[in-house]
Structures are given as structure tokens and as C-alpha cells.
Amino acid sequence: MKVRDVFSNWPPLKWAADDPARGALESDPGELRLLWFSAPDEDGWFSLSATDSHGVSWSTYYRTTAAVWRPLEHALKESLREPLKRVGDVELAPKPVTLARSR
């Protein structure tokens, strides 16, 4: 499974400029570079921040589940500063299998 498979549409289409004077994003969202992301709140909402080719910062929100968050977090962490199109192609690492030992 890839990052783009976790969300209904990747890269996100709606972005808000961190500086409201900038207006709406006019370039291809896939060209934005991932700057940072937050941890999800109790309802699963987390924010993404990215920059365009002019260094302008943009933010958006996504929602995920606890089951997907750890592999998604790892994929996003490994993709900082990458274009969002490329981030979408990153494979989510499967959760490690833990075997319980019986006594």
C-alpha cells in the first residue's frame, strides 16, 4: 500500500496559505514539497504543511485511523522536502509482526 492509497485523493487539492495575503494556491498541488506534519488528534485529524517553488508555506488537514498512523508517519517522515507527487508513491512499511512466546 502506498501513501496515495490511504487517502481518497492524493495530493490534497485544497490548501490554505500560511500568509492569508497570498490567496489561493494556483500551482499544481503535486509540486508542493512536504515541509512537516502534525500528529493526529483524538479524532484522527492531522495537518500537513508544504512549500511551493517560491518558498510560500501552505497547510491542509487530513484524517486517518490509529491503525494506519504509524506506517504513514514513517513514510511521511522519510519524505520530508519531497514533492507531494513523489510522496504519494512511497510504500507504507507493514506493521512488524510480534510473536508471543508461550511458557
Tens of pLDDT along 46-98?
999 999 999 999 999 999 999 999 999 999 999 999 999 999 999 998 655 45
Provide the whole-model pTM: 0.84
DSSP the chain: -BHHHHSSSSS-S--EESSGGG-S--S-GGGSEEEEEPPP-TTSEEEEEEE-TT--EEEEEEE--HHHHHHHHHHHHHTTTSBHHHHHTPBPPPPPP-PPPP-
Q: How many residues does the chain have?
A: 103
Measure the CA–CA gap between 15 and 25, rounded to whole angstroms: 7
Measure the CA–CA gap between 85 and 75, rounded to whole angstroms: 13
pLDDT at 103: 53
How would residue 23 be classed by pLDDT, with cut points 50, 70 and 90?
confident
pLDDT at 101: 57
